[in-house]
Homo-oligomer: A and B are copies of this chain.
């Protein structure tokens, strides 16, 4: 369980287990498929813990990212978004995003096709690839249907 992982790591590093830290992790865990901004996490957390400060939310997110428990993505809208690492360890590597240009929905997917691209790059460009990030922009099923309706 992720909560216990977090507690264990905190202990190992001589950091303290605080209610604030656990509540932020819980918020992220309860929104696995959403890609929350810091401000959104703050709003969720305040329901459980109204005294928490925004700075603490930022600090905790930073910590979780450093510990590889949380991943950050940027869609170019000026916000950094966070998602809990569902695909732990090696698998994190192959985790990408579909982003709907209409409604902003973010869909995660996995695909190993890029391994081939990486191999090709390594040879032709003499570049050692460590990680990659793929974003596909387009229209989700729901928005496609809406667009088709309004066109007919």
Tell me if A138 and B133 are in contact (CB < 8 A): no
Check A133/B131 contact, CB under 8 A, given A98-B121, A111-B120, A117-B113: no
What is the minimal beta-carbon distance from A103 to any residue of chain B, in angstroms?
A: 12
Tell me if A125 and B98 are in contact (CB < 8 A): yes
Taken together, the copies of this chain in the complex come to 2
CA distance A135 to B140 in the complex (A): 23
Q: Cβ of A135: which chain B residues have Cβ within 8 Å of it?
A: 132-134
Tell me if A137 and B130 are in contact (CB < 8 A): yes
- Measured CB to CB, the nearest residue on chain B to A98 is B127
CA distance A114 to B74 in the complex (A): 21
The B-contacting residues of A in range 101-137, CB under 8 angstroms, are 101, 107, 109, 111, 113-114, 116-118, 120-121, 125-137
- Measured CB to CB, the nearest residue on chain B to A80 is B76
CA distance A137 to B118 in the complex (A): 10
Tell me if B131 and A138 are in contact (CB < 8 A): yes
Tell me if B137 and A129 are in contact (CB < 8 A): yes
- Measured CB to CB, the nearest residue on chain B to A142 is B126
Tell me if A127 and B136 are in contact (CB < 8 A): yes
Lowest 4 A-B CB distances belong to which pairs?
A: A126-B141, A129-B138, A130-B138, A132-B136
Interface residues of A, Cβ cutoff 8 Å to B: 72, 74, 76, 98, 100-101, 107, 109, 111, 113-114, 116-118, 120-121, 125-141, 144
